[in-house]
Chain A
Amino acid sequence: MIRSTTGKALLSIWLTLVIVAGLAMPMVPVPRTWYELPWIPGLEQKARIILFHVPMAWVTLVAFISAMVYGIQFLKTKNLDYDLKSVNAAGLGTVFCILATVTGSIWAKFNWGSFWNWDPRETSIFILLLIYGAYFALRSSIEGAEKRAALSAAYSIIAGVTAPFFIFVMPRIMSGLHPGAKGDEGGAAPVAQLHMPPNMLVVFFASLLGFTMLYVWLFSVRMRISKLEEHH
């Protein structure tokens, strides 16, 4: 579907609409019409980051989990196509991980006063960045495609099962700044965005979907490129 021109056109129109809506919907103290967003004291225009930053972080996670799942499939079938999928998913995941880290960090400077605060979610994305880095460092130091595929798949699985421990460990150690952190009004709920007004929620989920489709499209392009490279 995404391969087709229609799919590509739809995706670009969708994302354009999301970006225009996210940047241009006016923020007023008391929203009256459907296109007005509430003015949140202390956040003001900075609240718009949630429409772009959270989808990036989400894609990072999707890419990591799919790299791991393709890794499991490689170990089951020994089909190197899955390894190719795994490495492409991880490559895109790294790009989105850097984007999420940088956007979040710039925003943190203006809202929380410093680029980096070791808040639990900042720490988690940093760990994810380290895992991606380690994954590629491991891959580049193994000769032999089969061995490289098996070992990097094994590493991604080990990382995948130990990373969830942060969910239990973090709240015991540090208090957070992100919504949904310990001490926050909403408790430790993973989706703190539910406090958003309905029109903002629509843009948010549209952005989430748009970014996910962007990832799927980029993934299919990269897969075609690496298949072509393989044949030459």
Chain B
Amino acid sequence: MMMRSAYEVFRKDVHSEFRTRYAMNALIMFVIVALSIILFSIGDESVTPGVLSGILWVIIFFSGMSGLSRSFVSEEERGTVLTLQLLTEPSAVYAGKLLFNLILTVSLNLFIAVMYVLLVQQFVVQSPAIFWVTILLGSAGIAAAATILAAIIAKANTKGTLYPVLAFPIMLPLLLTVMNATRLATEGAPFSEAAGEFQVLVAYTVVVIAVSVILFDFVWKD
């Protein structure tokens, strides 16, 4: 029952996304703008792989921050919160939104990563396995933290500016880990060397989702 309603919430979000293409259009433009600024500022300078790994995650963090709050803010703006509260239980709403954000983040970050590898010539991935696993696990962690924070800021007045402010201290352990793992990937480290990073990423995602499930009732209900 809960799985079914969660899936329905997810399907509703996918439908409204494909109808307006709000998130997709804005986010793809955001990524292109951010990438061009990076490319212009690099010019013909030689930049170390460590710095380039950091810049990749700066783009990913801020593109997530500009798109992922939509999931709850749009419900608040369209006044559909009450309807959802009446129709389904909170855990189903949370699961549906998490799934939507997860798929959005993974596909967006894969797009960013591909563009970054293609466009930034000095960024050479020597261990593709580490790199792509980092992108996937990092996206999952970002989606997990972003979903509960989006539910929180949807009730606040200054939504747009508050979101990265709240998210940064929460996501910093994740960001430091993925940046380190990406640096390992550019150095051509063997897969086993990044195992510790992957453990941290999985643990982080699981802990954040578990806490979110507990807290969501209090955040969602008025």
Contact = CB atoms under 8 A, between A and B. Distances in A.
Given A169-B176, A172-B180, A173-B176, A147 B222 contact: yes
A134 interface: yes
Interface residues of B, number: 35
A173 B180 contact: yes
| Size bin of chain A's contact surface | 20 to 34
Contact of B200 (A142, A151, A168): A168
Contacts of B222: 147
A33 interface: no
Interface stretch (A12-20, A83-91, A154-162, A214-222): A154-162
A165 B204 contact: yes
A142 B169 contact: no
Contact of A137 (B149, B165, B171, B176): B165
B157 to A, nearest CB: 4
Contacts of A170: 176
A25 interface: no
Contacts of A151: 152, 155-156, 219
Q: A interface, by DSSP: helix, strand, loop or mixed?
A: helix
B165 A133 contact: yes
Interface of A: 75, 127, 130-131, 133-134, 137-138, 141-143, 147, 150-151, 153-155, 157-159, 161-163, 165-166, 168-170, 172-173
Interface of B: 145, 148-149, 152-153, 155-158, 162, 165-166, 168-174, 176-177, 180, 196-197, 200, 203-204, 207-208, 211-212, 215, 218-219, 222
Given A162-B204, A170-B176, 15 more contacts: A133-B165, A134-B165, A142-B156, A153-B218, A155-B149, A155-B166, A158-B208, A158-B215, A161-B207, A161-B211, A165-B204, A166-B173, A169-B173, A172-B177, A172-B197
